[in-house]
């Protein structure tokens, strides 16, 4: 297939899917081109390397999926604690869907890629850190609003958001290792307890 207008989009989608289903290191440019149905020459027309593609693919994942989902779930119109619990319930639901579709729990694609490559691919790692930081800003906003509303004990919202992020990614990693979504079931209750929410009655909207 030649340099069609959507070849770069297909390459990015294929890259994210394959890196998520397998691993960054295990996936080759040939694998990506085959999945995307794009000739290898066209790959190099759009991207300099697999790392260059990975950076673009992660940004596409953020723009097309994560940001719209986070914008909905963490809307100021949603009660602060409901933003958190609804988001966590959504994570569990998404991972259960992946288990049905792929036969395995996939965990977080951004965190998985970041933990795998560490300092091997500086540009990819920088994009991973950037996306994680963006995501934690949503947590921070909900936590700050919860504290202001008297629904959570006082504390540094940024530090609480970071701790919440660690809890989520730890549970996702465990779920992936065990190939079982059970570690994700108690995330909403565990998060509220860890964040010292004053009310544990808030329920998420679900997904």
Q: What percent of the chain stands above pLDDT 90? A: 80
Question: What distance in Å separates the CA atoms of residue 202 and residue 148, rounded to the nearest whole number?
Answer: 16
Question: What distance in Å separates the CA atoms of residue 101 and residue 103, rounded to the nearest whole number?
Answer: 6
Tell me the pLDDT tens digit for each residue of 142-167. Answer: 999 999 999 999 999 999 999 999 99
Its pTM stands at 0.88
Residues in a beta bridge with 152? 197
Question: What distance in Å separates the CA atoms of residue 71 and residue 124, rounded to the nearest whole number?
Answer: 24
Categorize the per-residue pLDDT at 4 as very low, low, confident or very high, splitting at 50, 70 and 90.
Answer: very low
Within 10 angstroms of residue 127's Cβ, the number of other Cβ atoms is 22
What backbone phi and psi angles, to 5 degrees, belong to 27?
A: -90, 130
Query: Considering just the CA atoms, what is the radius of gyration of the chain in Å?
Result: 18
Tell me the pLDDT tens digit for each residue of 59-108. Answer: 999 999 999 999 999 999 999 999 999 999 999 999 999 999 889 999 99
Q: What's the chain's average pLDDT?
A: 91
DSSP string, the chain: ----TTHHHHHHHHHHHHHHHS-TTT--HHHHHHHHT--HHHHHHH-SSHHHHHHHHHHHHIIIIIHHHHHHHT-TTS-HHHHHHHHHHHHHHHHHHHHHHHSS----HHHHHHHHHTTSSHHHHHHHHHHHHHHHHHHHHHHHHHHHTTSB----HHHHHHHHHHHHHHHHHHHHHHT-SHHHHTHHHHHHHHTTBS---------
Across the range 124-137, mean pLDDT stands at 95
Categorize the per-residue pLDDT at 199 as very low, low, confident or very high, splitting at 50, 70 and 90.
Answer: low
């Amino acid at each position: 297939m030649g340099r069609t207008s959507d070849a770069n989009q297909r390459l990015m989608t294929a890259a994210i899917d394959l890196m998520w289903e397998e691993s960054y290191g295990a996936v080759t440019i040939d694998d990506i081109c085959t999945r995307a149905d794009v000739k290898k020459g066209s790959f190099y027309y759009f991207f300099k390397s697999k790392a260059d593609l990975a950076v673009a693919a992660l940004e596409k994942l953020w723009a097309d999926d994560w940001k719209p989902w986070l914008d909905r779930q963490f809307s100021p119109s949603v009660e602060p604690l409901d933003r958190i619990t609804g988001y966590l319930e959504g994570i569990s639901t998404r991972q259960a869907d992946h288990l049905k579709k792929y036969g395995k729990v996939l965990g977080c694609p951004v965190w998985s890629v970041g933990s795998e490559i560490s300092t091997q691919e500086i540009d990819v790692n920088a994009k991973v850190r950037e996306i994680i930081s963006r995501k934690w800003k949503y947590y921070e906003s909900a936590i700050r609003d919860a504290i202001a509303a008297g629904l959570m004990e006082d504390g540094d919202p940024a530090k609480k958001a970071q701790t919440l992020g660690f809890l989520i990614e730890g549970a996702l990693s465990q779920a992936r290792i065990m190939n079982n979504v059970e570690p994700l079931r108690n995330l909403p209750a565990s998060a509220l307890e860890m964040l010292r929410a004053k009310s544990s009655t808030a329920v998420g909207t679900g997904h």
